[in-house]
Amino acid sequence: MKTLYRYLIIAALTVATIAPQLVLAGNKDRSGQAGASELLINPWGRSTGWGNAGMARIKGLEGIWGNVAGTAFTKKTEAIFAHTNWLKGSDVNIFAFGFTQKVGETGALGLGIMSMNFGEIPITTASYPDGGLGTFSPNLLNINMSYAKAFSNSIYAGFVLKLISESISDVSAQGVAIDAGIQYLTGEKENIHFGITLKNIGPTMKFSGDGLSLRAFIPGQETQFTVEQRSEAFELPTQLIIGTAYDFLFPDDYRFTLAGNFTSNSFTNDQITIGGEFSLKDYVMLRAGYTYEDGIWNDIQEAEKINVSKGLSAGISVQVPLNKANGSSFAIDYSYRDTDHFSGNHTIGARISF
């Protein structure tokens, strides 16, 4: 067991040393060359309520996005369905579903699916700039498969395999990526949390399909030829997140958690998030958070402002026990994220654990 702990410590130190070099290898001036930015969107209702600040203490299925090590806390089975009205007023919707299942005494398997729906968009061409040719609907789909394990009462770790698909009717791109995360729990009451996760590590993606081809005449020839345009490959938005959290425990099962993260983004600004969550016997949970990055207080028309988010987030969860003997429960989660020039991001989710 001591040898296992030694290997885990070596792995954590290796990630902490090498990962920043990988993540910071991105150039902010090349942000337009990154793709698959939907990987940066958290589709779940509980963790978004405090701006993902709880990465170090996240537990259950939502850890499949925040820190996969947290899925190892699954007691038996947990399932969530969530819907996000993204940038309300833009008619963009995100649907997410997932479940985690405990396997063995200390392991947990997880599956998470996120689909982004943009509605029906009119087809326009140079000859028909006003449309009239029908519509098309982009489809962004991420499938996440995870495994996490409790190596002791203090150390939890896991990984996620991501399948990425972006497509319209005649052009598509597919890719794969992995996440890895570690959580460390300590303190006399196990109320001190540390976490580190490296996300979206994978090869470049590239679009292909008939939509990149066209029929044209070549000067001097009498017949048409098929001309294919080459699509440039793009990189994935790698992230390194380091976080900590502290639980203030009070009588009658009241709890207040103060948490914070530092997020190093490969193509966009680095971020600092601070958040708090108040729990009343786990029946009602109130949370709020704030995410800061360079330029976030600037006007949306200024060059330094590259994020539509204003940084503020808030949320609430109401949880009802179904069977106190086995710890099963049903909960409704809601979160709001403030944005510029839209009416915010609204997420509502239903979860059941048993």
Asked if residue 166 lies in contact with residue 172, where contact means CB atoms within 8 angstroms, the answer is yes
Q: Where are the domains of the chain?
A: 2-353
DSSP-derived secondary structure for 163-227 = EEEEE-SS-EEEEEEEEEEEEEEESTTS-EEEEEEEEEE---B--BSGGGEEEEEPTT-SSEEEE
Q: Tell me how far apart the alpha carbons of residues 334 and 82 are, in angstroms, rounded to a whole number.
A: 9
DSSP-derived secondary structure for 58-126 = --SGGGGTS-GGGGGG--SEEEEEEEEEETTTS-EEEEEEEEEEEETTTEEEEEEEEEEE---EE---S
Burial degree of 157 (CB within 10 A; 0-12, 13-18, 19+): buried
Would you report the helix, strand and coil content of the chain in percent, each value rounded to 5? 15, 50, 35
pLDDT at 262: 96
pLDDT at 30: 64
Q: Which residue carries 């949370």 as its tokens?
A: 287
pLDDT at 226: 75
CATH no. of 2-353: 2.40.160.40
Please enumerate in sequence order all residues whose Cβ is within 8 A of that of 235, keeping only pairs 6 or more positions apart, or say none: 26, 33, 34, 35, 204, 266, 267
State the DSSP H helix or E strand holding residue 9, giving kind and residue range, or none if neither.
helix 2-23
Three-state DSSP state, 16: helix
pLDDT at 239: 94
| pLDDT tens by residue, the chain, 354 residues | 445 444 444 444 444 444 444 444 445 666 667 889 999 999 999 999 999 999 999 999 999 999 999 999 999 999 999 999 999 999 999 999 999 999 999 999 999 999 999 988 888 888 888 888 888 889 999 999 999 999 999 999 999 999 999 998 889 999 999 999 999 999 999 999 999 999 999 999 999 988 888 777 777 777 777 777 888 899 999 999 999 999 999 998 999 999 999 999 988 899 999 999 999 999 999 999 999 999 899 888 888 888 899 999 999 999 999 887 788 999 999 999 999 889 999 999 999 998
Q: How many residues are there in the chain?
A: 354
Query: By C-alpha distance, which of 143, 146, 141 is closest to 163?
Result: 143
